């Protein structure tokens, strides 16, 4: 599929989004991997028709089980993989239009922090050299100036400049994660994508890294996408949260509203299984069974095989992502019957960025 064909998904969103622009706009983005087969062509639907907006300076949380497509979504935003269809705009410009040298220069605007800081750094290279490598790649050729910036950044992320002379094996996981964060910030990105940035750390180190992200949020105002399994972490740091299941967004809302009134049974089950103190979750169903295969997704609602509140037509009719409360969207036909006590019930109306199934 050509890039021209990929762009054709974008115009139908133009009217919907012209008065609701975000810093990052993801429109009907999908990533399908073709499976080799002698008979019927089959696809792994890693990301399936996601539309999402992130405002300037906003921290968006992205949660869901392993295999739900969170990391693939991050790779699409950073252009590590190319989408099967859809469009991405950053600061109003077509992000997918950049090619070759132009893309190389633009990559500094979108940086990613990976899950394991040990594997993100060359074990044979001193930390200062690792941090300065992206600066050299993007044209800061003066070695003295690069090291000056590295020392200043180490200080900003709470490390002594002497760490520039250490090897990765001489540091703790929390210290290395600060180094990785600092390396990404050296390029002054507009968007920072954090893929499970605290999962490899112990409790005390998690707290330190979260405080670092909160400080960056306040002081730098960088837009961030925070991918995590840890609902407590995203509740603490994120302005809004999007919940993914089987490659699709199934609920999105402001953080406190989501935790006060989760509408989708999957979100309710995630919170119940995480033992979070959320009002009205006593009757929420627990997650059972395994995540279905993205090759042979269930018909109708993708969550119905595991949903304790599923109804007969849930296996036949695919729900849309709909507005169920103020700025709160859920992909469930019966959210109002499952809503927590005190939730404000409204009729379904299409979301500005909804995807029709």
Query: Residue 119's domain is classified under what CATH number?
Result: 3.40.50.300
Give 3's pLDDT tier (boundaries 50, 70, 90). Answer: very low
Give 216's pLDDT tier (boundaries 50, 70, 90). Answer: confident
59 within 8 A of 235, measured Cβ to Cβ: no
168-180 confidence digits (pLDDT tens): 999 988 899 899 9
> What token pair was written down for 209?
């890294």
pLDDT of residue 348: 30
Give 20's pLDDT tier (boundaries 50, 70, 90). Answer: low
Residue recorded with tokens 């109708």? 300
Any domain includes 109: yes
* Low-confidence winner among 8-17, 148-157, 265-274 (lowest mean pLDDT): 8-17
**In the 8-state DSSP scheme, what is residue 30?**
E
Give 339's pLDDT tier (boundaries 50, 70, 90). Answer: low
Any domain includes 119: yes
Any domain includes 287: no
**pLDDT surpassing 60 at residue 343:** no
Spatial separation of the C-alpha atoms in residues 88 and 82, rounded to whole Å: 11
Among 16-30, 96-110, 188-202, 342-356, name the most confident range. 96-110
**In the 8-state DSSP scheme, what is residue 281?**
-
Any domain includes 28: no
Question: Looking at per-residue confidence, does 87 or 229 come out higher?
Answer: 87
**pLDDT surpassing 50 at residue 133:** yes
Q: How many domains, the chain?
A: 1
300 within 8 A of 315, measured Cβ to Cβ: yes
Any domain includes 163: yes
Instruction: Provide the domain limits for residue 208.
Output: 98-226
Residue recorded with tokens 């990785």? 180
* Low-confidence winner among 147-156, 199-208, 281-290 (lowest mean pLDDT): 281-290
Any domain includes 272: no
pLDDT of residue 281: 56
Question: Looking at per-residue confidence, does 283 or 45 come out higher?
Answer: 45
Any domain includes 164: yes
In this structure, are strands 191-195 and 223-228 parallel, antiparallel, or unpaired? parallel
Any domain includes 300: no
Q: Please list the residues that pair with 322 across neighbouring strands.
A: 330, 350
């Amino acid at each position: 599929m050509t890039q021209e064909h990929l762009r054709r998904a974008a115009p139908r969103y133009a009217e919907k989004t012209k008065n609701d622009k975000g810093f990052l706009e993801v429109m009907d983005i999908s990533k399908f991997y073709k499976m080799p087969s002698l008979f019927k062509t089959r696809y792994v639907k890693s990301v399936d028709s996601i539309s999402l907006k992130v405002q300037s300076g906003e921290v968006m949380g992205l949660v869901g089980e392993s295999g739900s497509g969170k990391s693939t979504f991050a790779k699409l935003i950073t252009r590590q993989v190319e989408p099967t269809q859809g469009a991405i705009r950053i600061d109003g410009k077509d992000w997918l239009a950049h090619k070759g040298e132009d893309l190389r220069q633009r990559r500094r605007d979108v940086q990613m922090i990976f899950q394991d800081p040990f594997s993100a750094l060359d074990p044979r290279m001193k930390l200062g050299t690792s941090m300065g490598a992206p600066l050299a790649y993007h044209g800061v050729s003066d070695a003295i100036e690069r090291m000056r910036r590295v020392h200043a950044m180490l200080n900003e992320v709470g490390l002594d400049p002497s760490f520039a002379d250490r090897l990765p094996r001489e540091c703790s996981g929390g210290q290395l994660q600060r180094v990785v964060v600092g390396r990404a910030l050296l390029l002054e990105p507009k968007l920072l994508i954090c893929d499970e940035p605290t999962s490899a750390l112990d409790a005390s180190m998690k707290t330190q890294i979260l405080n670092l992200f909160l400080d960056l949020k306040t002081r730098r105002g960088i837009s961030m996408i925070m991918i995590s399994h840890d609902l407590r972490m995203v509740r603490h740091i994120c302005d809004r949260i999007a919940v993914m299941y089987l490659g699709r967004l199934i609920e999105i809302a402001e953080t406190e509203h989501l935790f006060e009134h989760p509408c989708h049974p999957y979100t309710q089950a995630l919170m119940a299984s995480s033992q979070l103190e959320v009002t009205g979750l006593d009757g929420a169903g627990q997650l059972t069974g395994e995540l279905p295969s993205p090759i042979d997704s269930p018909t109708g609602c993708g969550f119905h095989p595991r949903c304790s509140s599923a109804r007969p037509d849930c296996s036949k009719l695919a729900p849309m992502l709909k507005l169920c409360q103020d700025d709160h969207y859920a992909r469930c036909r019966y959210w109002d019957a499952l809503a927590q006590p005190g939730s404000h019930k409204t009729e379904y109306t299409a979301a500005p960025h909804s995807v029709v199934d």
